Amino acid sequence: MEQHFRSYVGGQWVDGSGSHADENPADLASPVGRYGVLDAAATAQAVDAAAAALPAWSLSNPQQRADILGFVGSEILARKEELGRLLAREEGKTLAESIGEATRAGQIFRFFAGEALRIPGEKLASTRPGVEIEITREPVGTVGIIAPWNFPLAIPAWKIAPALAYGNTVVFKPAEIVPGCAWALAEILSRAGLPDGVFNMVLGSGRTVGQALVSHPKLDALTFTGSVPTGRALLKQAAERALKVQMEMGGKNPLVVLADADLDTAVECAVNGAFFSTGQRCTASSRLIVESAVHDAFVERMQARLAQLKVGDPLDPSVHIGPVASGAQLETDLSYIRAGHEDGGELLAGGARVDCATEGHFLAPTLFAAQPSHRIAREEIFGPVAAVLRADDYEHALALANDTPFGLCAGICTTSLRHASHFRRHAQAGMVMVNLPTAGVDPHVPFGGRKASSYGPREQGRYAVEFYTTVKTAYIAP
């Protein structure tokens, strides 16, 4: 029987309008399920429900919040294979990657279960005799969450868990192409002991549901992960209402390979960062900047390594790369491959769709030799397409690495402590990797970037408190 995914508003499951297929990008003939979408009025009801639940929840016992988040984390971990399989069918990343993402989501909820009991505060002496000062953190209020499709369990987890831990109420809007993962997460939360209205999940388009969410007068804060154009449009709208905003809007991340690097390590870092998860990561290594002395050897090894990768059904354990997540994203990837040819890039590997046993959005991992001015070397593609750029020396490589409007993550492969230390300090990015793929971060430390990549406080770890709380200073005289 085909599964139907519904929204969750005010403690009730809501069907929404229409019946839309939830596509399986690896097998278009076998959809994951069906879902209904909400209109603006139903979205407004979700925000109203969250706002009504806020006064009691914001003053709730922190142990209650910790127990609820611990329940959610434990159930996700207990069901990680089942949830991973759903994720693999709906988003397309391999089963191993999908189970890993489910595991990470569970760990995030467990981490913030602990943070609910560690909300920081201060008590300071006043400059005035007999006066005490107490600095406390309080919930920011009703939080709107707009999440992307590429990590449909982990990214919602790292937004929802801290919001609830610090006493906020939530209206969560997932991406349209991953309603199944959103429903699965909401279903667990619906049984965790949350009062009605504290958590709400609304399915629908960004044009309808997203706009109704951001424009609602009772919304206090917005956290968004997605594209730069959408993020900038939301930021302008939020500024008119003085909403507290946190945004992560992608990257064009460099991986620098110096002449002294271990080339086997460098190739594995590049392949993992650029092509695993089908390259659909904001931290993907889409610009491989290689020092001239080892450029040709690096390219040869990359070509050999890419030839070993198998593209296909993400549920097949022998497959390394699953399908592109949607037909629209596949067309975007192919348009950039055409742009790579038109700009004069040299195709080194891939560059075409892959025929598999089922009809799906399969694309070969694609590598170009490019110039810094080429579109494929400057614009975020969000697919299994990477560009190799030649650098004269370390200084040139660093300049190329920083020559981008983005600043999320930057990596370097080198055996030189001097160059590694210099790069860590001078890379214009929020995160730096040394002899590691640019994609792959821990959940207990801050995540975020600089320049056009991010706006507002960092996500994840203890730094999440900066966005999800507001500071109050109290002066007390006897």
Active site residues: 248, 282
Distance CA 361, CA 324 (A): 5
Give the C-alpha distances (Å, rounded to integers) separating 209 from 115, 202, 417: 31, 7, 50
The closest of 56, 443, 453 to 254, measured between CA atoms, is 453
Q: Where are the alpha helices (DSSP H) in 22-147?
A: 40-58, 62-78, 80-91, 95-115
388 DSSP β-pair partners: 288, 369
Which regions of 211-345 does DSSP assign to beta strands (E)?
Answer: 221-225, 244-248, 253-257, 285-291
Please check whether residue 143 is in contact with residue 158, taking contact to mean a CB–CB distance below 8 angstroms: no
Phi, psi of 174 (to 5 degrees): -80, 170
Residue with tokens 């770890």: 461
Tell me how crowded residue 63 is: count the other CB atoms within 10 A of its CB.
Answer: 11
The closest of 139, 140, 142 to 216, measured between CA atoms, is 142
Which regions of 202-350 does DSSP assign to beta strands (E)?
Answer: 221-225, 244-248, 253-257, 285-291, 346-349
**CA triple 263-264-268, angle to 5 deg:** 110
141: left (phi over 0), alpha (psi -120 to 50) or beta: left
- For 171-206, give the DSSP string: EEE--TT-HHHHHHHHHHHHTTTPPTTSEEE--S-I
The closest of 473, 471, 447, 475 to 166, measured between CA atoms, is 471
Distance CA 134, CA 126 (A): 10
